[in-house]
Amino acid sequence: MIQCETTLKKERTYDMSYERIELPRERIEAQEAIARRVAARFQAEGKQPLALVDTYGCQQNESDSERIRGYLAEMGCGFTDDEFAADIIVINTCAVREHAEQRILGNVGALNHTKKAKPGQLIALCGCMVQQPHMAERIKKSYPIVRLVFGPHELWRFPELMEQALTGKKRVFAVDASDGTVTEGEPRSRDGQVKAWLSIMYGCNNFCTYCVVPYVRGRERSRRPEEIVSEARRLVEAGYKDITLLGQNVNSYGKDLDREMDFADLLRQISEIPGRFVLRFMTSHPKDATEKLFRTMAECEKCAHHIHLPVQSGSDRILKAMNRGYTAKSYLEKVALARSYMPDLCLTTDIIVGFPGETEADFDDTLRLVETVGYDSMFTFIYSPRVGTPAAKLPDGVTRAEKQVRFDRLLDAANRISGEKHAAFVGRTLEVLVDGENRDESYPLTSRTGTGRLVHLRGDRETIGSFVHAKITGSTTWALFGETVQEEA
Ligand code: SAH
Ligand code: SF4
C-alpha cells in the first residue's frame, strides 16, 4: 500500500487499496425522478429556464459538462450562450494550473453584472477547482453570488443539489472528501454528432509531485468493460465516427476490476464493434504503456495511430523529483518500440518548464529529448505550484523571467518541429474524417486524418460526418490545409 500525506484534505492518508464502489442504478433513477420534479416545478411556474454551461480544462471536464447538460435537459431547461439570458449558469472548473483558476474567478466576479440585471439567476460552480477545501472556502467567503458548489464526486446527484439550491434558503456546498464512485446510466447531452468522449475510468493513483488531480478526482476506478462496450456500440449506431476513450492514465485501466482485463484488451473489444469509426484515447502514462498496447493499436484497424505520451521533462533528476517512474532513456525506448509497430505514429506530449530546482542543464536535457523524439505537437506549461502537493513545498531558486526564457526556447523548438512535420504532408492525398465547420470561408470544413492531424478543408458541408480524401495543399505549425478530391489515397 502506498500512502501519500497531504495538507490538501487535512492530512488525509490516501489508501491505494481503495475498493471500487459502483453506485446502484436505482440511485441514478432517483436523481432522474428529482430532475422531473424540478421540471414540473418550472412548468407550474410557467417558464422554461435557459441554462449556460461553461467548461474549463481537460476533456474529462468536457465530458462531465455533457452529463450536467443531460440532467439540465431532464429538468426541462433550454440552452443559451448568452450569460445575460441565462437563468442558470454552471461553471465547470479546472485546478491544474493557477492561470485557469484566476480566469475562472475573474469570470465569476464579472457575473455580478448579470446577477444584478437578472436577480433570480442561479450561479453554480463545480469541478476540480472547488473540490480543493481552500477554494471552496474562498467561494463561500468572497463570492456570495454563487449559490451552488459541488465537486466531481457529487456530479451524479446534481438534480438533488439543484433542487436544494432552488428551493432552500441556504447556499449549497457539496464538496465531500470521498474517493469517488463509478456511476452508470446518467443522462448525457452530447456536444456534437461526429466526435464523442467516452470515459473508461476516473481518478488517478500516480501522485506526480506537481499535480493536484489525484487529490480532487480521487482514486483510480474503472467502468466495467460491458458498460463501456455497450456505450461505444450505441455511439456507433447513432452515427458517431470518432470515439475518444478518456482516463487520466488509461494504461491503468482494469486494475481494480474483478477479472483479468487491461486497456489493450478493452481497445480490442471496442474496435471489434461493427461499423466505420476511429478509436482514440488519452492519456497514456509512459511508465505503464506496454508492448501489448502498441501491438494492439497496430493490429486493430480502427485504432488511430496516435499516442499522447506526456514526458514532462527530459532530465532524469527532475523526472525523479516529479515521481514519474521512468527515465529519459526508458521513455525513448518506449517511443522506439511504439514506432517499430506503427511507423506512421503521431506522437504528442506535455512538458512542464521550470519545475522547482530545474537547472539550465536539466532544461537542455528536455530540449535534447524533444529534438530526438521529434513530436508532432506539444503542450508546454510553466510549472504552477498547487496547494497541498509535495512539489509546492520544494525550494525554487529560478526566477519567473528565467522560466519564461526557457519556455520560449522550448516553444520555438516545438513550433519548428511541428511545422517541418506538417510541411512534409503537402502534395499528399490522405483520408480524413470531416468533423465540423470552420469560420474561414476559404476552408469551410474541419477534418482529422487517421492519426488525428487537423486539416482545414475546402469541400461540401454535406460531407460532415463522412470519410473523404483530401489533397494537402498547404500547412502551418498547427494544421494542414487541403481540398476534397475523388481519387483514392
Ligand atoms: N493525466 C494526464 C494529464 C493531467 S493534467 C497525464 O498524466 O498525462 C495535463 C497536463 O498538465 C500534465 O500532463 C502536465 O504537463 C500539466 N500539469 C499538471 N500539473 C501542472 C502544474 N502544477 N504546473 C504546470 N503544469 C501542470
Ligand atoms: Fe496528474 Fe500524474 Fe495523475 Fe497525470 S498521472 S493526472 S500528471 S498525477
Q: For position 180, what pLDDT does the model report? A: 84
- Ligand at shortest distance from the CA of 355: 1
Residue nearest to atom 10 of ligand 1 (CA): 350
Q: Kindly provide the b/e burial profile for residues 312-339, where b requires at least 16 CB atoms within 10 angstroms of the residue's own CB.
A: bbbbbebbebbebebebeebbebbeebb
**Calpha distance 302→275 (Å, rounded):** 10
Is ligand 1 within 6 A of the CB of residue 201?
A: no
Q: Could you read off the pLDDT of 137-184 as tens digits, one per residue? A: 999 999 999 999 999 999 999 999 999 999 999 999 999 877 789 999
Among 97, 209, 211, say which to mutate for ligand 2: greatest number of ligand atoms within 8 Å of CB: 211
Is ligand 1 within 6 A of the CB of residue 384?
A: yes
Is 388 within 8 Å of 7 (Cβ atoms)?
A: yes
Where the chain has pLDDT below 70, the residues are 1-18, 487-489
Q: For position 193, what pLDDT does the model report? A: 92
For the chain, the straight-line distance linking the first and the last C-alpha, in angstroms and rounded, comes to 52
Q: For position 8, what pLDDT does the model report? A: 44
Sign of the C-alpha dihedral, residues 377, 382, 383, 384?
A: negative
Shortest-distance atom of ligand 1 to CA 389: 22
Q: Quick one: fold of 429-485?
A: OB fold (Dihydrolipoamide Acetyltransferase, E2P) (2.40.50)
- The one-letter amino acid at 140: K
Q: Quick one: fold of 195-421?
A: pyruvate-formate lyase- activating enzyme (3.80.30)
Q: Could you read off the pLDDT of 285-319 as tens digits, one per residue? A: 999 999 999 999 999 999 999 999 999 999 999 99
Is ligand 1 within 6 A of the CB of residue 210?
A: yes
Is ligand 1 within 6 A of the CB of residue 97?
A: yes
Q: For position 351, what pLDDT does the model report? A: 98
Radius of gyration in angstroms for the set of CA atoms belonging to the chain, rounded to a whole number:
23
Is 271 within 8 Å of 281 (Cβ atoms)?
A: no
Q: How many angstroms does the Cα of residue 257 sit away from the middle of ligand 2?
A: 21
Grid cell 530545474 — which residue? Answer: 358
Shortest-distance atom of ligand 1 to CA 312: 15
Torsion angle defined by CA atoms of residues 191, 91, 351 and 419, in that order, rounded to the nearest 10 degrees: 50
Q: How far is CA 237 from CA 193, 222, 418, 435, 449, in A?
A: 12, 24, 36, 17, 22
Q: Report the relative pairing of strands 50-55 and 78-79 from DSSP bridges.
A: parallel
Domain regions of the chain by residue span: 25-174, 195-421, 429-485
Q: For position 21, what pLDDT does the model report? A: 87
**Calpha distance 453→48 (Å, rounded):** 41
Shortest-distance atom of ligand 1 to CA 379: 15
What kind and span of H or E run contains 436?
Answer: strand 429-437
Is ligand 2 within 6 A of the CB of residue 249?
A: yes
Is ligand 1 within 6 A of the CB of residue 289?
A: no
CATH code at 25-174: 3.40.50.12160
Q: Could you read off the pLDDT of 81-121 as tens digits, one per residue? A: 999 999 999 999 999 999 999 999 999 999 999 999 999 99
Is 280 within 8 Å of 243 (Cβ atoms)?
A: yes
Q: For position 15, what pLDDT does the model report? A: 61
Q: How many angstroms does the Cα of residue 349 sit away from the middle of ligand 1?
A: 10
- Ligand at shortest distance from the CA of 207: 2
Q: For position 143, what pLDDT does the model report? A: 97
